[in-house]
Each structure stands twice: as structure tokens, then as C-alpha cells.
Structure 1
Amino acid sequence: MNILSLTTMEFYKIKRSKILLLLTVPLIILWLPNVINAHMSAEPVMEGISPANNFLIQSFMGYVWFILPASIIVCTVMLQQMERTNRGILKMLALPLHPSALSLSKFSVLLSLTALQCALMTGCYLLCSRIASVYTGADLTSPLRTALPLAVSVFLSALPMTALYWMLAVILKTPVFSMVLGLATMVPSVLFINTKVWFLYPTCYPFYVITQKYGQLAGDTAQKIDLLPWIPAAASIFILCLLLSCLFFGHGEKKH
């Protein structure tokens, strides 16, 4: 059984779960107040930014700070619990496949769910920005050449964070512990982006991308994304977390 077959099997499993619903409901909760309070975007907090770009950034800022990491944490726990229910993980490990392959297939599903929510977030933005434009009488819709690259940047910057949360869910066998620890990592993210070692804290990556983009759209030429040492650090964290999750996946279950 190869990784492609395993990944396909994992997608069939989530069709019977509530994961897709859990990805959508938080976005609805996010966008309702954004549309209702859309008139506030006509008064940007940073001079030089247009109302449309302000509406875009403020919406994504709330998304990357709380909803995106929280959704990833919930999905990791649910993916793990789907196997641990009725000792399903033991049945999977009894198949002629390597545990690392099963871990990678589940992680691929997690990445797909993260990409799906980012796409849903972008779709909600395009819809709600038009509704808000009619509601406020101001143009609050940024061009696609601004919105789409921003959404892609958010997804790519979330890859190390996703690998980190998957590793925690694999190593910490108790779902409550992995969820609490994951949620606890969200709190300091706003603080870390203002330190010199922000690139060592993957949870703050998406928030860093948004804040830097905010300055760029406001015309601040000093605001730029420092690719060094960020990219090497992010790649190292991503690979390390993925290797550890492959190494420890199913380790505890095998002992029993």
C-alpha cells in the first residue's frame, strides 16, 4: 500500500466526520461581525492604506491569529482520534505498511484541510467584501492580484506550524494535553513577531506575513519580509517536526 492509496483512504474517512463543518463554522463567526462593522474599515488605523486593503488585512489578521491555528489544532486531534476510536490504529498498523507512511498520509490530509480553509477564507472575503461595499457605500474589495497572493502566503507560512501541531498530536497521546498545549502556543505569537528571534516560533509566521503586508500596502517601504534567516529556520522546523511525527507515530500503540 503506497502513500497515495493511504491518503485516498484517509480522505474517505473524513467524509464521515465533522471536520469540514468545523472548518466552515469559524469562518462564518469571523465574517458576520466583519460585515456588520465594515464601516470601521473606511477609517484605517494606518495612514496611507486604502479602505479596501484595510478591510482585507483586518479580516485576515483575525483569521491567522486565532481561527487558523485553532482549526489546525482541532483537525490534528480529530485525525488522531479517528484512529484511536475502536482501536482503529492497531488495525491500520497490522497492515503491511510502515507507520511513517500512515503518518505522512494523515499529514497530507491535514495540509489539504488547511489549504481548503484558506481557500474558503478567500472565497468568504470576496463575497463579504462585495456585501460590505453595498452596505457601506464604499469600495471594500481589493483586486485579486492582492487577495490571492496574500492567501497563498498565509498557507505557505502555516506549513511549519501545521507540522508542529501534528507532531504534538502524535507524541502526546492524550488529546486534551496536545490541544491545550497547542492552544497555549497561540497566545505569545503576537509578542514573538516583535522580537529578534521571531523566526524560531512557527506559530507567529502567518501573523508576521499579515503585519508585514499591512505595512507594504500602507506604502511603508521599510516593511519587508526578511527571507533570511526565516526560510532556513522554517524549513528546518518543518522537516524536524515531520521526522519526529513519523518516528513516533504508532509507537505507543505497538507496545500494547
Structure 2
Amino acid sequence: MSFWELLRIEFMKVKRSKIIPLIFVAPLLVVSSGVANLSRYFTPEYTNAWPAMFIQSALVYSYYLLPFSMIVVCVMIAGRETGNNGILKMLALPVSRYALCMAKFCVLAFYLFMEMVVFLVVFVIAGTVATGTMGVTETLPVFYLVKWCVGLFLTMLPCAGTMWAVTVLFEKPLLSVGLNLLLVIPGVLVSNTPVWIAYPYCYSGYLVSCSLHDFTVGDNIRTFSLFPFMPVAVLVFVLALMIAVIQFGKKEMR
């Protein structure tokens, strides 16, 4: 069985799940509240309305709501195999458990991407309504919004990989959800320490915090640097996936 066929089967498994409605919840909540709260201060002469609305919405979203939703998606994807001994049935087929694990992570990454698309679309709609209502004539900065949404997606990948590794290591949903939640909650505190670079749960939030600093200071100095962040993030991502791949189905194969 080829990897692409295996990937197609994995998408079929989650087709009737509640993942699609789930990825709408966090963007709708954070965008509607963030834009509504900030738009009350808009005047027709207001400048940089779009960046202000984006940072207001993305700050809480990147630190908490986006990771929380991905934790639930991890459990829902893994639950397709843990329920009714489905993992044993899958491993009985001529399919590599390593490929099966990677296919499941690809499904997780796809839903992460879809949630970022939903966030962008919802934000553009809410922002357009807010600026139109308050008489702000600022042009929609498409490149700015897409750039930061892509940044959120990429910085969230190491976190998603780590969450998936935790979900694989701790098969009980309560344990995996509880541990991942405990690791997400201190993210905003860790991001203010030098060890943030090795803590994937705060990567996306740190990115938005840096954009907030750049926005408020207003200079050309960017606080978010790709080096040494990128090598460390790639290393964390690869190590997390290696742990997940090695441990996936290992107990059932004994």
C-alpha cells in the first residue's frame, strides 16, 4: 500500500468526525471578540487599523486557542485507532506502522492549515465590517495578513509535532490532553525567558508578541530572528516526529 493511498484512507476515517466544525470555533471566538473590542476606538482618521486588529486577535489565539484546538484534533485522529482495537486491525494489514503514523500527522497538519485559512477568512470579513462601520478607509493589507498567517502555521508545526508525540506516547486521551494542556498554559511565561527557543508550545505566541513589539515601537528593527530559531525549531520538529514514529503501535506489535 502506497503512502498516498494510506493518506487517502486516513482522510476517509476522519471525514465524518467533528473536526471540521471544531476548527471554526477558535477563529470565530477570538476574531469576533478581538475585532469588536478594538473597533470601538476607531475613528475615520485611524491608521494601521488592520495590523492592530490582527495583533489583538492573534495574541490570545496563538498562545492558547490554536494549541487547544490542535490538542483536540490530535486526540480525535488518534481515537480512530485506539477505539475498538482499531490499531490492531490496521497493523494486521501489510502496512508500515511508521508510514501510518506519518499519514496521521499529515492529516493533523492539514487541519492546522485549514484552521489558519478559516482564521484568515473570518478575520478579513470581521475586519471589513469593522472598518466599514467606523468609516476607516485603510486598504486591506493582503500581503501582511497572509505573511503572518503563514508564519503562524510554520511556527505551529513543531508544536503540533510535539503534541502528536505526546498523544502517541500516552494512549489514554485524558493523559495526553492533560499533559499537552499543562505544557500549553505556561507558554506565555516561557516566551519571556531565554529558554523559549527550545519550547515549541510558545513559538506561535512568541511570533505574535514580536509583531506587537514591532508595531508599538515602530522602528525597522525586527525582534524575531530566523537564526538561531529555525535550526532549533527544525530539530525539535524532527525529534518529536521521530519519537512519535518509533513509538506508534510499538506496544501492539509485541
Q: What is the TM-score when the length of structure 1 is the normalising length?
A: 0.92
- Aligned pairs for 1:32-111 within 5 A: 32-40=32-40, 42=42, 50-111=48-109
State the distance in 2 between where 1:140 and 1:248 align: 51
Letter in 1 for 2:237: F
Query: Displacement of 1:40 after TM fit?
Result: 4.6
1:194 counterpart = 2:213: no
Tell me, yes or no, if structure 1 residue 18 matches structure 2 residue 27.
Answer: no
Could you say which residue in structure 2 is the equivalent of 1:132? 130
Q: Could you tell me which amino acid in structure 2 is paired with residue 243 of structure 1?
A: M
Give, in angstroms, the shift of residue 249 of structure 1.
Answer: 0.3
Cα distance, 1:162 vs. partner? 0.5
User: Which has the higher mean CA deviation after the structures are superposed, 202-211 or 19-28?
Assistant: 19-28
Structure 2: stretches of 5+ with no match in the other structure: none
TM-superposed CA distance for 1:211, in Å, is 1.4
Residue number in structure 2 paired with 1:242: 241
1:254 aligns with 2:238: no
Alignment-derived partner of residue 4 in structure 1: 4
2:151 corresponds in structure 1 to 153
Q: What is the rounded CA distance, in whole Å, between the counterparts of 2:212 and 2:236 in structure 1?
A: 26
Instruction: Give the number of equivalent residue pairs.
Output: 251
1:203 to 201, 204, 208: 201
Task: Describe the shift of the 1:208–1:141 C-alpha distance in structure 2 as closer, same or farther (beyond 3 A).
Answer: farther
For 1:244 and 1:183, locate their aligned partners in 2 and report how far apart those are by CA, in whole Å. 19
Deviates more, 1:158-167 or 1:34-43: 34-43
How many angstroms apart in 2 are the aligned matches of 1:138 and 1:49? 8
Alignment partners' CA distance in 1, 2:96 and 2:71? 25
Amino acid aligned to 1:202: P
Instruction: Describe the SS at the equivalent of 1:158.
Output: helix
Cα 1:41–1:246, aligned 2, differ >3 Å: closer, same or farther? Answer: farther
Residues 52 and 139 in structure 1, CA contact (< 8 A), matched pair in contact too: no
Q: Percent identity?
A: 32
Q: By how many angstroms is 1:98 displaced?
A: 1.1
Gaps of 5+ in 1: none
Determine if the alignment matches structure 1 residue 162 to structure 2 residue 157: no
How far did residue 198 of structure 1 move?
A: 1.1
Relative to structure 1, the CA distance from residue 242 to residue 147 in structure 2 (aligned partners, 3 Å threshold; closer, same or farther) is same
The Cα shift of 1:245 comes to 0.4
**Residues 2 and 136 of structure 1: CA distance in aligned 2, closer, same or farther (over 3 Å):** same
The question of whether the paired residues in 2 share the 8 Å contact of 1:30 and 1:63 is answered with yes
Shift of 1:128: 0.6
